Amino acid sequence: MSDMQPSVLVVEDEPAQAEMLTYNLESEGFRVIRAADGSEALLLVEEEAPDLILLDWMLPGTSGIEVCRRIKLRPASRLTPVIMISARSEELDKVRGLETGADDYVTKPYSVIELMARVKSQLRRSRPATVGERLVFEDILLDSEAHKVFRGERELKLGPIEFRLLSTFMEKPGRVWSREQLLDRVWGRDIYVDTRTVDVHIGRLRKALGRHGGSDAIRTVRGSGYALG
């Protein structure tokens, strides 16, 4: 697992199930956020921007199906992978869950090993650097497992913050990231950092990328933030 610890929101109203999922996810290196009902889940999706959501179908109040529908309607969270967990094993229920926007559907009782594999599979698509994947953009190669960056044949020396910034950019080339979004993704929500600090580290990353005569590849989008390419 990369040092960019991915976060998983567990939405489960049964304490024993929530504890079991939390234990296994943390053992795999994930940061776990928990919600016991649909309303709390929707609030945490907005506040915490988790990398993946494990969502129980049967919840008090707002159902898992409705929670999933709302998550997928919001522009900020529509691309967040949702794995729905349900005791409903009928094919029509699975189809309904997937049609609502769930990215995967797991029926209770389930194999924990299989569920962890499904979590990693979804993250491999949405945040590949967190599961040790190599990322490539033009002549830049980022090996998240070895924690190395190459430009052509040359290895670039990056500090840990610059490495995480580049990982974030390379996971979604072309996406514009605001300073606040980069702070959340790279520094984390629990640490207060002035947004100007982002500019300082972007400057260091640009310098490292352009050290051997290449372009720095990072684009400033006036009034919005930064993008790769």
Token pair listed for 153:
């044949």
Q: Return the C-alpha torsion angle 82, 190, 34, 39, nearest 10.
A: -80
Identify the weakest region by mean pLDDT among 48-57, 81-90, 184-193.
Answer: 184-193
Between the alpha carbon of residue 204 and those of residues 21, 143, 151, the distances in Å are 39, 19, 16
Q: Is the pLDDT of residue 3 over 90?
A: no
Fold classification of 7-129 (topology level):
Rossmann fold (3.40.50)
149 pLDDT band, cuts 50/70/90, is very high
Q: What are phi and psi of 54, to 5 degrees?
A: -100, 115
CATH of 133-228, one of 3.50.50.60, 1.10.10.10, 3.30.420.40, 3.30.360.10: 1.10.10.10
4 pLDDT band, cuts 50/70/90, is low
Task: Kindly state the percentage of the chain with pLDDT values over 70.
Answer: 96
191 pLDDT band, cuts 50/70/90, is low
What pLDDT sits at residue 224?
87
What pLDDT sits at residue 64?
93
Q: In what order do the strands lie in the sheet with 154-156?
A: 134-137, 140-143, 148-151, 154-156
Q: Where are the domains of the chain?
A: 7-129, 133-228
Calculate mean pLDDT across residues 213-219.
Answer: 83
